[in-house]
Amino acid sequence: MWNTEIIGTGMFAPPGVVTNNDLSTMMETSHDWIVQRSGIEERRWVAPEVTTTDLALEASLAAIKNAGIDKKEIDCILFATLSPDHEFPGNGCFLQPKLGLTDIPAIDVRQQCSGFLYGMSIADAFIRSGQYKTILLVGAEIHSKGLDKSTRGRDTAVLFGDGAGAIILRRKEVKDPSKDSHIMSTHLFAEGAGARELWIEGPGMNLGAERMNHQMIEENKQFPYMNGKKVFMNAIRRMCEATLLACETNKVKLENIELFLFHQANMRISQMVAQELKIPEEKVFSTIQKYGNTTAATLPIGMSEAVEAGRLKKGMLVASAVFGSGFTWGSSLYRW
């Protein structure tokens, strides 16, 4: 039976650093207020002409180089994003020619903060089935162009950053599951009853013939809305549950996991998950301080940064858990 190995990582953060003090010139906020509530110290925002697929291209090229493969070996592209270049077609189709590739399938995954882990599960299923051998999975986002940067939008605007991460997944025959690198399992969930607790209402086909009008704009319906308390509590509970399920499925003790890569939505969420599960602080790798919440890009950015920092090494047992809009959540256990 085939298994899936992650053979390369890459990331790209745009050069435009926006500090908390920079935000305090746009809205009523402060460095201390943002750090206390989120752990974020700075984030990256793109220049006006930059697109989500521009970021994805840089991360993809870095991952291809890191994997040591020819880009023509890629036989499928999976692109996780909530911020596509255009309403349609999907970003995968715009990334494909930028990479100089053709004919291979390009699939978008629209599961917001859970998108990259959903993409890992899809890639793993494709490879295990024998349908594809080498898959490029990208998570890329541009939030800065779609935020209310006034005091009215402060609660969400301070959280989000722009960036991209990518990994190369490849077919592998695993001989010793206790040592060989491979994805052991993925676990995906959704609870659509919570969809309106974290969403952008418009424009939308459910808003009448216009899809958007001046009144809707005046009501801020084109900007993200978040019920912070409800999202916070659900994220902690669901990420804990999903992490424990991954352990139970693979008959692995939580204390034997060597590194935890959680979705970077809020430092307090990661800390609470670690506290609930009694995970030592040194086993949790975080990037939110530098990049904010880059939704579908947080996991691959974390993977790439952890490799670069020497915190993520071949053979290590790693767990990831995510939670996001939808509500969607999930987990994965893998030997790096």
113 is catalytic: yes
State the SS3 of 264-319. Answer: CCCHHHHHHHHHHHCCCHHHECCCHHHHCECHHHHHHHHHHHHHHCCCCCCCCEEE
Angle between helices 267-277 and 31-38 (to 10 degrees): 30
Query: Is position 93 annotated as part of the catalytic site?
Result: no
User: How far is the CA of 311 from the CAs of 12, 175, 259, 286, in angstroms?
Assistant: 19, 25, 8, 11
293 is catalytic: yes
The Cα 267–Cα 115 span in angstroms is 19
Catalytic annotation, pick one of 143, 182, 187, 263: 263
Counting Cα atoms < 13 Å in the Cβ hemisphere of 172 gives 22
Indicate the SS3 state at residue 328. Answer: strand
Pairing of the two strands 225-226 and 198-199: antiparallel
Give me the catalytic one of 20, 66, 234, 293. 293
CB contact at 8 A, 161 and 45: yes
Q: Which of 113, 187, 234, 240 is catalytic?
A: 113
DSSP 152-221: GGHHHHTTB--EEEEEEEEEE--S-TTTS-EEEEEEEEE-GGGGGGEE---S-GGG-TTS--HHHHHTTT
210 and 336 Cβ atoms separated by less than 8 Å: no
Q: What count of Cα atoms within 13 Å lies in the side-chain half-sphere of residue 255? A: 1
Q: Write the CB contacts of 30 (distance below 8 Å, at least 6 apart in sequence).
A: 20, 24
Strand order in the sheet with 182-190: 182-190, 328-335, 317-324, 259-262
Active-site residue list: 113, 263, 293
